[in-house]
Amino acid sequence: MAKSVDYKKLEKEYYIPSTTPSIITIPKMKFIMIDGEGNPNTSQSYKDALEVLYGLSYAIKMSKMSGNQPDGYFDYVVPPLEGYWSIDDGQFNGINGLKKDKFTWTSFIRQPEFVNQDVFEQAKVQLKKKKPNLDLSKCYFGEVEEGLCAQVMHIGSYDNEPETIRKLVEYVQQEGYEEDFTTRRHHEIYLGDPRKTNPEKLKTVIRHPVKKV
C-alpha cells in the first residue's frame, strides 16, 4: 500500500525550517481560504473559519470512502493550518500593533495538486449535508505564489513571537534584503495544537515577504 503524502516531510524546507533564519522562495500552492477580522482568541468568526477549513479539507481527503474521489487522487495527510495577519489601520510585521481585536486575517489550509474549483465545490456540498448550520459563503479556493521570503521556526508561546521576529528582521537586513509588506503579509504556519500542547513547546513557522535591496 502506498504511503500517504505528508507535505511536512516531503517539503521540509517549507514546513520545518531551522530556528536560525533563512531566505527561501515559495512556489505556487493551492489553498482553501477564509478572510476575517478580530481577536482569534475570542472571535467566534475565527473559530467558525477553522471549522469550515478543516471540514472541507477532510471532506476532500475522505472522498476516497464515498466512491467520488477526484481524478488524480492520492492519499495524503491534511497539511497544517496557516494564517496571514495584518491590522486594520496599517501594516503588521508581527511586532507592532499587538492589539488583537484590530487584526484582519486570512486563514487557510493547503490542498493537494489534484484539487481544483470543481473538487472544492463538491466538498462544500458534502460538508453542507453533514453540517447544514455551517456558513460556507466566505470560504474560497485559490492559488498563491508567495515568492521570496525569510522564515524561521519559533518555539514557544505565540505571545513570545516578537523576540524571534526581531532576530528574523535583523537577519534580513544583514543579508541585504528588506521586508516587503506592500502586497504581502506576515505569515504563520501552525505545527502544534495549542489545545493539546504546552505553550513552551508550540512550533510555529514565521515567514515574512522580502525583496533584495
Classify each residue of 56-92 as buried b or exposed e, where b means 16 or more C-beta atoms within 10 Å of its C-beta.
Answer: bbebbbebeeeeebbeebeebebbbbbbbbbbeeeeb
Closest by Cα among 141, 210, 179, 192 to 16: 192
DSSP H or E run through 141: strand 139-155
Low pLDDT (below 50) residues in the chain:
none
Cβ proximity of 9 and 126 under 8 Å: no
- Domains annotated for the chain, with CATH where assigned, are 7-212 (3.20.80.10)
Q: What is the model's pLDDT at position 97?
A: 58
Q: What is the Cα 36 distance to its own chain's centre?
A: 14
Give the per-residue pLDDT at 115: 98
Quote the pLDDT of residue 194.
Answer: 76
pLDDT value for 89: 66
Q: What is the pLDDT of residues 50-80, one digit of tens each?
A: 999 999 999 999 998 877 889 999 999 999 9
CA distance 67 to 179: 47
pLDDT at res. 192? 84
